[in-house]
């Protein structure tokens, strides 16, 4: 085993925001690969294949750089590329290999040469068993009724550690931005195989690679996009870092870097894993509970809801009494205490709920959310007979909003965050994905409310707003419109036609102005 003494340390991140969003750290791997690609290097790193198994690929195609950069929770199949690398080196070709310290060490022992070979070792968390990831993919396939095409872990479009971007083969894209049973099992170590080689390569002062890259916890300033810890461990590593500087923003350099902020998770690992249990139970059943005792009881959740109801009511006693009446004594409002599924109202809320309405809550419905406590903006909700609201995760109507749901119509919400003065007019069906962000003065309607003698005219046409969409200030969504996943509707836009996924539209009427791969609000 060959170890290099660390020569210099850096904290940096990629100048390209897209590369940072693709990476589990600061996009340093992308910067280094792009630098070497200019020098005609072949690069080898771990990717998800078409079957969502993790394996190393050897290529000189720059399109693979983003696939190599993302986090993979399972160990890669890598030895199959060793003969190809050895053959390239024998032909005087240049190769960069990105892998764990153990993988880098095995490659070096196999090729018996360091000429034309750059090793980049990754400071990684313990890997889980492939069977746990397979189980997660299987459950998502059943939930979304389509096969999973790809998963991006630690998706930086959201400021949450457990965010994921899940792309399906049917073209839809879903986003999770809260902790799931899979995440708790991943961190528990119950399905993490024992790795005896891990301790041998744990030191940050002696490394196998010419370059070492890991995730760095930067406290201030911190934009949430990730920072990379980098160490150069050889003269080749120093030279490579000097070439890569033009692609990086250097935050700090040298011995002043606090090694305790390098995210190196030793984790709990098991010598024997009961993989069979994955066939017998769901991940929810296998997952360790976050809360036990009184905090997991129904009584605790009801007491918590009363406190939150009083707080959202700004401690106004009359508004709080309305909250109690709505949630505990109103027929048609169906609450769920374990998911915080309650109807929260702020002062100055005007409600007209006609007998026969239904509100089904699997998450909180907040009416009149306001940033300024003293604001007198009235928030209005009118529901006619047979009308329904279903909240799957979270729904917040900003102060001054006006929501009307006509007879037998359905407003279905995944996760909605809205600013002030939103208008929703629902005559048949409006479906909002997860999450949907709506700026102030934005409007959605699925009905014109009037009969017109025009061939093919329909008074109501459903509106569907996809997942992770952003409807900007003053935009209007007209009947029959579908806004695709990951799309942005620009300010003051008037939308009358379908908006394709991951595009931005702008104007009156709105037209496509470009594609967009990632965004974060």
What's the whole-number mean pLDDT along residues 467-492?
96
Instruction: Name the burial class of residue 212, with classes exposed (0-12), middle (13-18) and buried (19+) by CB atoms within 10 angstroms of its CB.
Output: buried
Please spell the DSSP secondary structure of 6-54, one letter per residue: P-EEEEEEESSHHHHHHSSSSSHHHHHHHHHHTTT-EEEEEEE-TTS-E
- Give me the pLDDT at residue 454, please: 59
Question: Over 90: is that where the pLDDT of 311 sits?
Answer: yes
Q: Give the pair of three-digit tokens for residue 516.
A: 């967009």
Query: 303 or 371, which is more confident?
Result: 303
- Give me the pLDDT at residue 429, please: 96
Q: What are the φ and ψ backbone dihedral angles of 278, each rounded to 5 degrees?
A: -70, -25
Q: Which of 281, 294, 77 is nearest to 190 (CA)?
A: 281
The SS3 call for residue 80 is: helix
The Cβ of residue 14 has, within 10 Å, a number of other Cβ atoms equal to 28
- Give me the pLDDT at residue 63, please: 85
- Residue 99 pairs in a beta bridge with 121
Q: Give the pair of three-digit tokens for residue 136.
A: 């997660």
Task: Provide the pLDDT confidence category of residue 291 given band limits of 50, 70 and 90.
Answer: low
Average per-residue pLDDT for the chain:
90
First to last CA, the chain: 46
C-alpha 288 chain-centroid distance: 22
> What is the rounded CA–CA span in Å between residue 480 and residue 428?
11
Question: Over 60: is that where the pLDDT of 434 sits?
Answer: yes
Q: Does this chain's domain 4-128+191-261 share its CATH topology with 293-515?
A: no
Which CATH code fits 4-128+191-261?
A: 3.40.640
Q: Give the pair of three-digit tokens for residue 194.
A: 């024992």
Please spell the DSSP secondary structure of 239-295, one letter per residue: HHHHHHGGGEEEEEESTTS-GGGB-------BSS--TTHHHHS-HHHHSPPS--GGG
Top CATH class, 293-515: mainly beta
pTM of the predicted model as reported, rounded to 2 decimal places: 0.89
- Give me the pLDDT at residue 456, please: 58
- Give me the pLDDT at residue 348, please: 93
Question: CB of 168 within 8 A of CB of 230?
Answer: no
- Give me the pLDDT at residue 277, please: 82
- Give me the pLDDT at residue 492, please: 95
Task: Provide the pLDDT confidence category of residue 449 given band limits of 50, 70 and 90.
Answer: low
Question: Over 70: is that where the pLDDT of 450 sits?
Answer: no
> What is the rounded CA–CA span in Å between residue 85 and residue 93?
9
10-19, 198-207, 267-276: segment of lowest average pLDDT? 267-276
Task: Provide the pLDDT confidence category of residue 453 given band limits of 50, 70 and 90.
Answer: low
Q: Would you state the torsion angle of the CA atoms of residues 55, 57, 61, 67, taken in this order, to the nearest 10 degrees?
A: 20
Query: 126 or 171, which is more confident?
Result: 171
> What is the rounded CA–CA span in Å between residue 89 and residue 83?
10
What's the whole-number mean pLDDT along residues 441-464?
78
- Give me the pLDDT at residue 399, please: 93
Question: Over 90: is that where the pLDDT of 82 sits?
Answer: yes
Give the largest Cα separation in the chain, rounded: 83
Q: Pairing mode, if any, of strands 436-438 and 469-471?
A: parallel
Question: Over 80: is that where the pLDDT of 1 sits?
Answer: no
Tell the residue number behind the tokens 């969003």, with chain if given: 21
> What is the rounded CA–CA span in Å between residue 320 and residue 326?
10
The SS3 call for residue 423 is: strand
- Give me the pLDDT at residue 110, please: 92
Q: Which of 28, 36, 78, 33 is nearest to 53 (CA)?
A: 78
Question: Over 90: is that where the pLDDT of 81 sits?
Answer: yes
How much helix, strand and coil, in percent to the nearest 5, is found in the chain? 25, 30, 45
Question: Over 80: is that where the pLDDT of 267 sits?
Answer: no
- Give me the pLDDT at residue 87, please: 94
Q: Pairing mode, if any, of strands 443-445 and 423-426?
A: parallel
Domain ranges for the chain: 4-128+191-261, 293-515
Region of 102 please: left (phi>0), alpha (psi -120 to 50) or beta. Answer: alpha
- Give me the pLDDT at residue 265, please: 57
User: pLDDT digits over 215-242, tens only?
Assistant: 998 888 888 888 999 999 999 999 999 9
- Give me the pLDDT at residue 270, please: 72
- Give me the pLDDT at residue 206, please: 87
User: pLDDT digits over 93-146, tens only?
Assistant: 999 999 999 999 999 999 988 889 999 999 888 888 899 999 999 999 999 999
- Give me the pLDDT at residue 193, please: 84
Question: CB of 23 within 8 A of CB of 226?
Answer: yes
> What is the rounded CA–CA span in Å between residue 44 and residue 198?
21
Question: CB of 95 within 8 A of CB of 118?
Answer: yes
- Give me the pLDDT at residue 398, please: 93
Tell me: cis bond preceding 280? Omega within 30 of 0 counts: no
């Amino acid at each position: 085993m060959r170890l290099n003494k660390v020569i210099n340390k850096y904290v940096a991140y990629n100048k390209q925001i897209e590369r940072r969003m693709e990476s589990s750290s600061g996009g340093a791997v992308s910067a280094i690969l792009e630098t070497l690609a200019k020098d005609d290097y072949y690069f080898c790193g771990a990717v998800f294949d078409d079957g969502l198994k993790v394996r190393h690929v050897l290529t000189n195609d720059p399109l693979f750089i983003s696939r190599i950069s993302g986090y993979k929770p399972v160990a890669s199949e890598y030895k199959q590329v060793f003969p190809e690398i050895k053959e390239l080196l024998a032909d005087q070709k240049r190769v960069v290999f990105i892998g764990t310290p153990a993988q880098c060490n095995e490659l070096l022992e196999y090729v018996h040469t360091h000429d034309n070979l750059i090793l980049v070792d990754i400071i990684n968390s313990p890997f889980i068993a492939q069977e746990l990831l397979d189980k997660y993919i299987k459950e998502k396939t059943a939930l979304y009724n389509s096969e999973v095409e790809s998963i991006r872990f630690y998706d930086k479009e959201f400021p949450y550690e457990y965010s994921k971007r899940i792309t399906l083969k049917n073209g839809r894209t879903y986003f999770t931005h809260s902790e799931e049973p899979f995440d708790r099992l991943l961190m528990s170590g119950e399905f993490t195989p024992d790795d005896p080689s891990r301790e041998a390569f744990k030191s940050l002062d002696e490394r196998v690679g010419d370059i070492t890259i890991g995730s760095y916890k930067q406290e201030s300033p911190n934009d949430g996009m990730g920072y990379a810890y980098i160490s150069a461990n050889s003269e080749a590593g120093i030279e490579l870092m000097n070439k890569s500087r033009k692609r990086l923003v250097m935050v700090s350099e040298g011995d002043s870097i606090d090694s305790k902020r390098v995210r190196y998770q030793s984790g709990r690992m098991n010598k024997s894993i009961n993989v069979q249990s994955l066939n017998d139970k769901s991940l929810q059943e296998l997952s360790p509970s976050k809360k036990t005792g009184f905090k997991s009881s129904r009584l605790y959740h009801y007491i918590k809801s009363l406190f939150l109801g009083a707080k959202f009511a700004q401690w106004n006693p009359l508004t709080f009494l309305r909250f109690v009446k709505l949630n505990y004594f109103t027929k048609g409002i169906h609450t769920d205490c374990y998911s915080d599924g309650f109807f929260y109202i702020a002062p100055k809320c005007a409600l007209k709920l006609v007998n026969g309405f239904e509100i089904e809550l699997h998450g909180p419905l907040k009416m009149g959310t306001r940033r300024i406590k003293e604001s007198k903006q009235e928030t209005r909700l009118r529901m006619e007979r047979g009308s329904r609201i279903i909240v799957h995760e979270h729904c917040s109507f900003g102060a001054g909003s006006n929501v009307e749901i006509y007879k037998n119509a359905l407003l279905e919400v995944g996760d909605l965050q809205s600013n002030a003065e939103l208008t929703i007019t629902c005559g048949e069906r409006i479906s909002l994905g997860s999450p949907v962000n709506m700026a102030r003065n934005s409007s959605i309607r699925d009905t014109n409310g009037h009969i017109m003698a025009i061939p093919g005219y329909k008074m109501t046409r459903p509106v569907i707003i996809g997942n992770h969409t952003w409807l900007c200030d003053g935009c209007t969504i007209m009947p029959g419109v579908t806004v695709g996943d990951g799309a942005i509707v620009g300010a003051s836009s008037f939308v009358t036609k379908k908006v394709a996924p991951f595009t931005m539209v702008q104007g009156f009427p709105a037209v496509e102005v470009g594609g967009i791969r990632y965004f974060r609000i």
